[in-house]
Amino acid sequence: MAALLEKKRVLLLMPLIIFVTLQMMFGLVYGALIHHTKVTITNTMSQAVTIHCRDKNTDKGYHVLQPNVGYSLWFIPNPIFKRTLWYCSFDWTEEGHNFDIYVQERDKCQHRICSWLITENGPCRVTNYPKNPECFPWN
């Protein structure tokens, strides 16, 4: 009876051992199963902008971006439900706006790096054609 229980334990552990082994062998070469995404926000205005970015669980705090200065945040998007959402507020002299800076279904970023340029009219996402960013209105 004890031998039968031991065989069941080995059979249950075997898929886990194979998964970990394959992840260690190929995960380092081809990338991990869980990927980080980087969102970079650059202030292109002539004045400082205070940004405050958060999702439903994490608050990245306030950051003051001087002209032509960027800020980056890293996170792991939801690999199953694809519902990750990061939103930011942008405040400068007598103006304040909000924008969903990362919407997992909307933002198919190159190599998991999303780059945004902040303008007075709204944020612009840098695309494969850097001279032609995709601009959005403020929320």
> What does pTM read for this prediction?
0.74
What's the half-sphere exposure (Cβ side, CA atoms, 13 Å) at 75? Answer: 25
The bridge status of strand 85-92 relative to strand 113-119 is: unpaired
> 37-135 architecture in CATH?
Sandwich (2.60)
Q: What parts of the chain have a pLDDT lower than 70?
A: 1-8, 10-13, 16, 19-34, 130
Query: Domain boundaries in the chain?
Result: 1-33, 37-135
Tell me, what's the pLDDT at 27? Answer: 46
The residue behind tokens 């007075």 is 120
Structure tokens at 71: 């800020």
User: What is the Cα–Cα distance from 40 to 77, expressed in whole angstroms?
Assistant: 15
